Amino acid sequence: MTTPEIRVQGLHKSFGDNHVLRGIDLEIAQGEVVCVIGPSGSGKSTLLRCVNLLEEPTEGQVFVGGTEVTDPDVDIDAVRRRIGMVFQQFNLFPHLSVTENLTLPQRRVLRRDKAAAERVAAENLARVGLAEKAGAYPSALSGGQQQRVAIARALAMGPEVMLFDEPTSALDPELVGDVLAVMRSLAREGMTMMVVTHEMSFAREVADRVVFMDGGVIVEQGRPEQVIGAPRHERTRHFLSRILDPAMAEVEEGVADQGGTG
């Protein structure tokens, strides 16, 4: 049996009295694209951050490529080199050019020489459609372009797994499409991807599996056409109705508010 690229087992995470993750079990196969959906506060981003130990789990185990990330003796820097992470915010250095933003982590972490790092940077800027922006500074780029640079920076490290934490949520709607197109191309290339997202059309089109979380647990998971198209659980149906038809959600809230004053 093939070892899962990511395996999460009995994962709990608490922040003081706030029990955010309540016993998560999840496996992601090599080359699989898994989209994690759910309401704010459901634990999606915390789960993602536990995979590369940006958050220390309270209890449970996380494995990446067969290596236990949660082992106290693990070389976490070596594990993180295999995991690319893209955040909501782009986290680019404003005083560095696009190429310098891509070469700095390669040279510091991977110890690549300048010429090799610049060659890899150019290759990955081309992958995200920004080869012509190599000499530009972040302030001269749109939000969507900055996020694509952030993706290229992660790819330049040669990861086996890519984690995306709501990568389009900080973007104007007209800029979302270019970022999602880059992610689609990565999926076609066979990159293992775990994506926390509110983009249901992307999840429906690209994901091999959709995981719906609420209240710190996985409520249901399955093929996109099942979870998004024909959810089994009422919690999933309620969430999707509000995401897919926000106008109706506003009407429901208005009715509820009126009822509360009577």
CA distance 204 to 193: 15
Q: Is the pLDDT of residue 146 over 70?
A: yes
CA distance 8 to 27: 6
* In a shared domain, residues 3 and 53: yes
**What is the average pLDDT score of the chain?**
91
Evaluate whether residue 166 is within a structural domain. Answer: no
pLDDT of 74: 92
Evaluate whether residue 147 is within a structural domain. Answer: yes
Evaluate whether residue 179 is within a structural domain. Answer: no
pLDDT of 249: 46
pLDDT of 112: 95
* In a shared domain, residues 90 and 73: no
Evaluate whether residue 251 is within a structural domain. Answer: no
Evaluate whether residue 171 is within a structural domain. Answer: no
User: Residue 5 is part of a domain; what is its CATH number?
Assistant: 3.40.50.300
Q: Is the pLDDT of residue 246 over 80?
A: no
* DSSP string over 112-148: --HHHHHHHHHHHHHHTT-GGGTT--GGGS-HHHHHH
pLDDT of 190: 94
* In a shared domain, residues 98 and 142: yes
Q: What is the enclosing helix (H) or strand (E) of 149?
A: helix 143-155
* In a shared domain, residues 19 and 68: yes
For residue 215, what are the domain limits? 1-81+186-245
- Per-residue pLDDT of 17-66, as tens digits, reads 999 999 999 999 999 999 999 999 999 999 999 999 999 999 999 999 98
- Per-residue pLDDT of 183-209, as tens digits, reads 999 999 999 999 999 999 999 999 999
- Structural domains counted in the chain: 2
